[in-house]
Structure 1
């Protein structure tokens, strides 16, 4: 058995939907690796939205869904190989690798279940040692010119690469002659949106993104993306149950009109060619109105709500394409890594907010409340 120091999430009580869970420090024992598995130690991890979903037990209690007595979260980060797999592909002992959190894949190599989240029997990087599939270890480039703190944030970038690839091709399917410099790509704030708009900007598109604090607005501007201050549009996220004549509804309509006017100006009246909306929830109706005719609404996350409502007739008449992706294709991982190494399409080290292993509960609280001081919160497990 493998012994490890870990932050553990246990199942909620049976019966009625349980409230939020909490991470508890514990010494755990994990099964010895199978022939196709490697024993690794986590060096640095990145806090991901699915970790917050797991703690909130929303949309599900993953421990109960997996039928496991506990779960160790942590899907994205850098590990060092302690004992390579003896069958199949595996980096060698001592190699530093990106951990690719593929639990179960479909026949095309896309993730169906995520290691350390909803894949039964798997445990992630919030532990000093853990067991992972050997073919989910992607070695870092030898003598990389980028620091580990940048690579640790790759979890926002790999899904962004995949989502942008699909969204752009869908847009091109209806806009074969269009010039990117004449079209606006807009994103609601978040690390994946920042990465995705970075790709769009590299390809010559106009880009704009929202944030609601000065530090993040500055980061957006420093990436060459037009920052839009959400605080200038109070009432934008109107609760669905608000009546049409309530003051909250009127405030929402005023805010939405003002935002759409700003986007209209930035796009020279065309509207948004692509809207990157990984929030959903109460902002989704505004997303639909912001998208141009022949526009694309694309998402690879659902932070503010899973369920969306659309008027199918209106979407057909405006020829909107809706793109939904999850994670990325396993076989594209090395290509994305090499693109990052060669282009520097990575978060700069100063963009990461770092926490020590002892401070993981505080990191969880900061992320859940929106107080994490960065798009890329990372944590140390073992010293390098």
Structure 2
């Protein structure tokens, strides 16, 4: 089969698209003909070796959608011809958190595409527990762009921050995958949403999907803008997946008794923390990673019924994977980047 892969870590120069061994399924696994694969910043970090996959060469990709072509002997939930979307979470099933249903806290948590072989290939072998049924009226590109970012944003806001109607929520980097999902989730819960982005075009998109207040962080200081507009109060919840570049400002703009919830740090992992800001304002600092199967089902149901609209900035053949990674690293456009196997790609389908 054809697959995206790399044999060593590094820049986009290490990315290849070519022949790769066909996957073989076990008794509990399903063989999926991949129709579309969604990219995330995770793919960039993994390519660079942060963290390093368990084996090289490595096929990246945590998100994909496709059609079942073969099932193992013990598979009960799927049959050939079923349309499916991938849930990339891998849980041990035995630790104290898994036994309590808090699988997102699994002590041996892993992810497809990060720690083990991913799904950016013509075919993928996956455990049936890592697949959910895809309705006939949802296209593969939409489905492939949604799982990682929407379940991440859902857990951050609904489960961890416990947002309520009329809460004020600041979403940093609203043009990215997690950011544009967080804007929609907060707006759908009845929150007042602030969004930051690096251009007026990106902010226009953020407004279209539910942001009430917009800040171009290339031109204005988001702390000054929000403090001025809220008479110094700030916001109830800050969604910060940026890290060093925004961390101190996030602490500053959070209201007394507010919360900062984080799932990543694309600008750097070791920001300085003004500890008095945390205790004097009695802030909650909340970490969040991916989601549980139930959270995945809840948020994807809202993607499938159209409540949430994954935005896709571009769809391209897998052979253009270098360009796809460059788009992510250079922060081009609004929303997700999706790749399609060259054997399935027709540019007329994505005009």
- Per the normalisation by structure 2, the TM-score is 0.86
Secondary structure of the residue that 1:26 maps to in structure 2?
strand
Gaps of 5+ in 2: 346-351
CA contact (8 A) 2:151 2:291 kept: yes
Gaps of 5+ in 1: 13-17, 173-179, 234-254
Equivalent-residue separation in structure 2 for 1:162 and 1:201 (angstroms): 15
Query: In structure 1, which of residues 98, 101, 106 is the aligned counterpart of residue 85 of structure 2?
Result: 98
Matched, 1:188 2:185: no
Alpha-carbon displacement from aligned partner over 1:213-235 (angstroms, at most 9, x marks no partner) = 232111011123122112213xx
Equivalent-residue separation in structure 2 for 1:70 and 1:276 (angstroms): 35
Alpha-carbon displacement from aligned partner over 1:258-303 (angstroms, at most 9, x marks no partner) = x323102433432111010001013211111111110100111221
- The CA RMSD over aligned residues, in Å, is 2.2
Alpha-carbon displacement from aligned partner over 1:290-322 (angstroms, at most 9, x marks no partner) = 111101001112211223432434312211001
Secondary structure of the residue that 1:224 maps to in structure 2?
coil
CA contact (8 A) 2:25 2:71 kept: no
Equivalent-residue separation in structure 1 for 2:186 and 2:250 (angstroms): 18
Counterpart position of 1:279: 242
Alignment of 1:150-161 (within 5 A): 150-154=142-146, 155-161=148-154
Counterpart position of 1:303: 266
Counterpart position of 1:132: 126
More moved, 109-118 vs 46-55 = 109-118
What is the CA-CA distance between 1:337 and the residue it aligns to? 2.0
What is the CA-CA distance between 1:118 and the residue it aligns to? 1.3
Q: CA 1:264–1:354 in structure 2 vs 1: closer, same or farther (change >3 Å)?
A: same
Equivalent-residue separation in structure 2 for 1:101 and 1:338 (angstroms): 17
Equivalent-residue separation in structure 1 for 2:12 and 2:302 (angstroms): 39
Equivalent-residue separation in structure 1 for 2:143 and 2:47 (angstroms): 25
Counterpart position of 1:355: 316
Equivalent-residue separation in structure 1 for 2:8 and 2:264 (angstroms): 24
Matched, 1:75 2:59: no
Counterpart position of 1:85: 72
Alpha-carbon displacement from aligned partner over 1:138-178 (angstroms, at most 9, x marks no partner) = 0112x43x443322221321211111113432x67xxxxxx
Counterpart position of 1:41: 33
Equivalent-residue separation in structure 1 for 2:249 and 2:232 (angstroms): 16
- Per the normalisation by structure 1, the TM-score is 0.79
Equivalent-residue separation in structure 1 for 2:233 and 2:306 (angstroms): 31
Counterpart position of 2:348: none
Secondary structure of the residue that 2:338 maps to in structure 1?
strand
Secondary structure of the residue that 2:36 maps to in structure 1?
strand
CA contact (8 A) 1:149 1:352 kept: no
Secondary structure of the residue that 2:7 maps to in structure 1?
coil
Alignment of 1:129-278 (within 5 A): 129-141=123-135, 143-144=136-137, 146-154=138-146, 155-169=148-162, 180-181=165-166, 183-189=167-173, 190-225=176-211, 226-233=213-220, 255=221, 259-278=222-241
Matched, 1:9 2:6: yes
Equivalent-residue separation in structure 2 for 1:316 and 1:88 (angstroms): 51
Matched, 1:324 2:318: no
Counterpart position of 1:114: 111
Q: CA 1:187–1:105 in structure 2 vs 1: closer, same or farther (change >3 Å)?
A: farther
Equivalent-residue separation in structure 1 for 2:38 and 2:237 (angstroms): 27
CA contact (8 A) 1:76 1:99 kept: yes
CA contact (8 A) 1:41 1:82 kept: yes
The number of residue pairs the alignment matches comes to 330
Alpha-carbon displacement from aligned partner over 1:64-105 (angstroms, at most 9, x marks no partner) = xx1x23110011121211112322444211111111112334
